[in-house]
Amino acid sequence: MSDVIPAPVSIHPARDEDFVISPSSVIAVSGGDAAQPAATWLAAMLRRGTGYAIPIVPATEARQSAIALSLDDAGASLGDEGYRLTVTDAEVRIQANAGAGLFHGAQTLRQLLPPEIEAESSEGTVQWVVPGGEIIDHPRYRWRGAMLDVARHFFGVADVKRYIDLLALYKCNVLHLHLTDDQGWRIAIASWPRLATVGGSTAVDGDPGGYYSAAEYRDIVDYAAARCINIVPEFDAPGHVNAALAAYPELSCAATPPALYTGIEVGFSTLCLDKPLTDRFLDEVIGELAALTPGDYIHIGGDEAKSTQPADYNAFVQKLTRIVFDHGKVPIGWAEISKAPLSAGVVAQYWDVNDAGRSAHAAAAQGIEVILSPANRCYIDQKYDATTQLGLTWAGPVSVRDAYDWEPGDYGVPEPQILGIEAGLWTETLRTMADIEYMTLPRLAGIAEIGWSQQSAHSWDTYRQRLATHAERWEAMSVNFHRATDVDWTQG
């Protein structure tokens, strides 16, 4: 039980109470519809791994050998995402107050099973033993996210779903999609169709472009929701807009229309802020993103607006955050936005460690919530070390230890204002799902533990041993993870 990542709040192993999943095991559900996502996900995982039938039945009809998912009053301390997992030789029971808690409990159960559960049915060769005992667990932060840059290189729906599956394993609950940048616009906007068809037509180095239709985006949203993960779309402005300007030159102040861009420099593009057309563009893009996105948040970027007049930047941030509120959503911006006076409810995302924490402090001083993504800890696009082929270097290298061995409380943001933490995967140098996986694991697991587990549970020495045991699971999942040298993988 002690190898679970993120580390649970409490673990009490019980000898001689192991449960064995058998061909007659059932998932017994009580507590109504909200239990369905966890039950459906767990049944699919167990069926695939064991080859058993694993029917989902109402708790009232379950006989022996049940994995019971029960949604009831499990205690206020568990919140919406916490759970209690009890394993005896007679049953496995996951109790929670809400569906997300059951889902996270199911992920813990998954990690307690032999790693072969991750592969296509190994029926007959593996005993599906769940170690006896009790785990009580709930998260430290409400926001445990990962950002995927689909603008520098485009990744299709199947890749994004596979990424969502990795996030779910480590109890992350947010996928932030960086949908627009200089090199590509990746979401169809009906009122501005050339954004996707022209702006989305290429990628870094002239690699193939692409974009999500509204239906494909919805498909991603639904797939994530079934795994208790919220999709946060980012439309980055007023900089990082070259793809949009190439599609609609009238949004630019320049006399000559900008060409599509396939390099990796930042900071050269800006919307023309004093045109009424720009206001209409902002309102229509945010309106469509809001209509497509059931979650509460829309990310407005705001980073590296080096070509926007400083005098215009603050007014722009205030305008765009207002538009997001007007469409019923909560705006998030990269922490540069905290230069501007912000309305209550805006969220800032800290990333730029070269500002020595100034933008995080400025956000905290305005009393708003902050997501922490300090680049030298959370940017998993950075090389692991000097030998890493993929990745950038500006904030790194970011070793497996760097991504784990840090404390969110050290950034000058009072604990109640820390909404949570987020890993960032920029894709200037990443072209394939294998590249994404290589940069993501093992580091994402550590960032997820920093976001979920209590500070008292953090220990690099024990974490690196627990982490080593996850390698077999990633192998069974066919994940292209990196055997980083700061972990002794032979301990796994």
What are the b/e assignments for 231-260, b being 16+ CB within 10 Å? bbbbbbbbbbbbbbbbbbeebbeeeeebeb
With CA atoms as reference, report the closest residue to 288 among 179, 393, 391: 179
Enumerate residues 102-161 that contact ligand TNX by CB under 6 A.
Answer: none
Q: Which of 379, 406, 452, 474 binds ligand TNX (CB under 6 A)?
A: 379
Count of residues interacting with ligand TNX (CB under 6 A): 10
Q: Cα 59 from chain centroid? A: 33
Enumerate residues 299-328 that contact ligand TNX by CB under 6 A.
Answer: 303-304
Minimum distance of ligand TNX from residue 380's CB (angstroms): 10
Q: Which of 392, 433, 457, 476 binds ligand TNX (CB under 6 A)?
A: 392
266 binds ligand TNX (CB under 6 A): yes
Enumerate residues 170-229 that contact ligand TNX by CB under 6 A.
Answer: none
Q: Considering the candidates 91, 284, 304, 472, report the single residue annotated as catalytic.
A: 304
- Residue 176 vs 329, nearer CB to ligand TNX: 176
* DSSP bridge partners of 93: 68, 86
3-state secondary structure of 369: strand
What are the b/e assignments for 130-140, b being 16+ CB within 10 Å? bbbbbbbbbbb
435 binds ligand TNX (CB under 6 A): no
- Residue 103 vs 426, nearer CB to ligand TNX: 426
Tokens 């485009």 found at: 154
Q: Which of 235, 426, 438, 481 binds ligand TNX (CB under 6 A)?
A: 426
Minimum distance of ligand TNX from residue 387's CB (angstroms): 19
Minimum distance of ligand TNX from residue 428's CB (angstroms): 6
Tokens of 88: 């005896």
- Residue 103 vs 351, nearer CB to ligand TNX: 351
374 preceded by a cis bond (ω within 30 of 0):
no
150 burial level (CB within 10 Å; 0-12, 13-18, 19+): buried
Minimum distance of ligand TNX from residue 317's CB (angstroms): 14
Per-residue contact string for residues 325-364; x = within reach of ligand TNX by CB under 6 A: ---------x----------------x-------------
Strands (E), 262-380: 297-301, 330-334, 347-350, 369-372
Minimum distance of ligand TNX from residue 257's CB (angstroms): 23
* Helix and strand numbers, DSSP H then E, in the chain: 15, 19
Tokens of 481: 């993870």
Q: What is the largest CA-CA distance in the chain?
A: 77
Contact status, residue 165 vs residue 219, Cβ threshold 8 Å: no
- Residue 83 vs 379, nearer CB to ligand TNX: 379
Tokens of 111: 């990690």
304 given a catalytic annotation:
yes
Minimum distance of ligand TNX from residue 421's CB (angstroms): 14
* DSSP bridge partners of 350: 372
381 binds ligand TNX (CB under 6 A): yes
- Residue 267 vs 412, nearer CB to ligand TNX: 267
Residues 99, 224, 470, CA angle at the centre, nearest 5°? 85
Active site residues: 304
Binding site for ligand TNX (CB under 6 A): 266, 303-304, 334, 351, 379, 381, 392, 426, 428
